[in-house]
Amino acid sequence: MLALRLVRGTRPVVQLRRLLVAAATAGVGFLLLCTLGYAVGHPDRSPASALRLLWCALPLAATVQFAVAVARTDPSVRPRPGLSAVGLGPARLTAVAAASTAVACTLGSAVALLLYLHLRGDLTGLPFDGAAAGLLAADRPVPVAAALTLLALPPAAATTAAGLALRPGRTDAPAPRGAERTLPSGLPWGVALVAVGLAAETYAARGGGGSGLPLPGRFDGSPTGVLAGWVLTAIGLATAGPGIAHGCGRLLQAFRPGAVRLLAGRVLMDEAPRIGRPLGVVGAVLSALIAAATVYASGPGTDAFGPLTGLGALLIVVCTTATLLTAALESRQYRARTTEALLRLGAPPTVLRTAALMRAGVLLAVFLPVTWLVGTLAALPLTG
C-alpha cells in the first residue's frame, strides 16, 4: 500500500517514466506470447521456437535495464532526513522501489495479455480480417500456465534487478579523492572482448564450419561462431563504455584547459561510471544495427525481416536510448549541489551550459566513430 501511495503522489514526469516502463514491458510480453503462439502452431519446429525465445532475451534485457534506471531516479524512494524515524530506512526504501517497479511491469504484462488475446480473436472476434491469426496460432488454445509464466518473467526480472541495484551499500557515492585519476577497470576487458569477438568472427567465416542458425533476413544459415563473435564484440563495446567516457573527460582537460574545459572534463570523469555503461550499450546497439544494415544491403536474396523482429529491434533501440537519457538525468540530480554551489560563487549559467555542451560534444565525437568502426568490422566476415 505504501508503494501505491508513493506512486500516486509523484510528479507527472515520474509517472510518465513509469508508464514508459509499462509500455516496454508490454512489448516484451507480447513478443514472448507471440513466441509461445509460434511454438503452439508449429510443434514440429522446436529448434526454431527455442531460437525465437532466445532472441527475446535481448529486448527483455534492455527493458530490465530501463526499469532499473527509472527506479534509480525515482524521487519518492530517495533517502531523506527523518524517514528512518518512521521506519523508512534504506532497506525499506529499496523494497518500496522494487514494489513500484513490480507494479509498472505487471501493468505492462497485463496489457500485453489483453492485446494478444484481442488479436487472436478470443475477446471480440478476429480484428483486421484475421491478418494475425496465423502468426498467433488463433486456431489453437493458449496454454494458460505457459502464458502466465512468460508474462511473469519481465516483472520478476525487473523487480529483482531493481532491488539488487538499489540495495543498501550499493549507492553511487562520490569517488574518493584521487580515485578519479585512474581508468576504470572495464576498459581493458572491453577492448579484449572486442578483439576476441572480431577474431572469432573472422575465423568462423573463413572456416565456414559449424551449423547455421535459422535467423531472419539475410542472416539465415550464418555460422554460429560468427554470431557468437558478434555478440562478444557488442558486449565488449558496452563494457568499455565507462573507460571511454573517462578518457573523454581527460581529453577535455588536455593542452592547457581553461575554466570551462576543466570543469567539463572533471565532471565527465566523475560521471563516467554512471553514464558510461548506458552509453556503451547504446554504442553496442548502434554498431549491431550498422553491421546488420551492411549485411542486409550487400548480400543476395530477398528474405525480409518479419514484424516481430522489427518490434524487438525497436524495443531494444528505444529502451537503451531511454536508459541513457535517464542516466543523464540521474547524473544531473547527483551534481545538483555542486551546481548550486557554483551559482552561489558567481559562476554564470552560460558557463554551466557551455560545459554541458562540451561534454556532449566530446562524447559524440569519440563514440560515433568507434561505433561505426566496430559495426563495420563486425559486418566484414558476413559480407565476404
Helices (H) and strands (E) in the chain, counts: 13, 2
Q: What is the pLDDT of residue 240?
A: 92
Confirm if 186 and 242 have CB atoms less than 8 A apart.
yes
CB atoms under 10 Å from CB of 374, counted, come to 25
- 176: pLDDT confidence band, cut at 50, 70 and 90? very low
Nearby residues of 347 by Cβ (< 8 Å), 6 or more positions away: none
Q: Would you place residue 31 in the very low, low, confident or very high pLDDT band (cuts 50, 70, 90)?
A: very high
Residue 319 pLDDT more than 90?
yes
Structure confidence at residue 247 as a pLDDT band (50, 70, 90): very high
Quick one: DSSP state of residue 137? T
Query: What is the C-alpha separation between 341 and 334, in angstroms, rounded?
Result: 13
Share of residues in the chain with pLDDT > 90 (%)? 35
pLDDT at 89: 67
The grid coordinates of residue 333 equal 540530480
Task: Average the pLDDT over each of 50-59, 264-273, 353-362 and give the range with the smallest value.
Answer: 50-59
Confidence of residue 177 (pLDDT cuts 50, 70, 90): very low
For residues 103 and 76, give the distance between their C-alpha atoms in angstroms, rounded to a whole number.
15
The SS3 call for residue 174 is coil
User: What angle is formed at CA 1 by the lines to CA 17 and CA 327, rounded to 5 degrees?
Assistant: 25
Q: Quickly state the pLDDT bin for 142 (edges 50, 70, 90).
A: confident
Question: Would you say 352 and 92 are in contact if contact means Cβ atoms under 8 Å apart?
Answer: no
Residues in the chain: 384
- Least confident range of 20-24, 79-83, 229-233, 242-246: 79-83
Instruction: Convert the pLDDT of each residue in 283-299 to its tens digit.
Output: 999 988 888 888 777 76
pLDDT for the residue numbered 88: 64
Query: Which residues is 223 bridged to in the sheet?
Result: 212
Q: Which helix (H) or strand (E) holds 259?
A: helix 259-298
Tell me the average pLDDT of the chain: 81
State the pLDDT at residue 213: 58
Q: Looking at the predicted structure, is the pLDDT value of residue 338 above 60?
A: yes
Per-residue pLDDT of 194-219, as tens digits, reads: 999 888 888 877 765 555 555 655 55
Cβ–Cβ contacts within 10 Å for residue 111, how many? 17
The per-residue pLDDT for 248 is 93
Q: Which of the four pLDDT bands, split at 50, 70 and 90, describes residue 19?
A: very high
Q: Rounded CA gap, 371 and 83, in Å?
A: 45
Q: How confident is the model at residue 311 (pLDDT cuts 50, 70, 90)?
A: confident
d(CA 209, CA 225): 9
By CB neighbour count within 10 A (0-12 exposed, 13-18 middle, 19+ buried), where does 5 fall? exposed
Neighbours of 177 (CB within 10 A): 7
CA atoms within 13 A on the CB side of 97: 30
Q: Which cell goes with 301?
A: 536474396
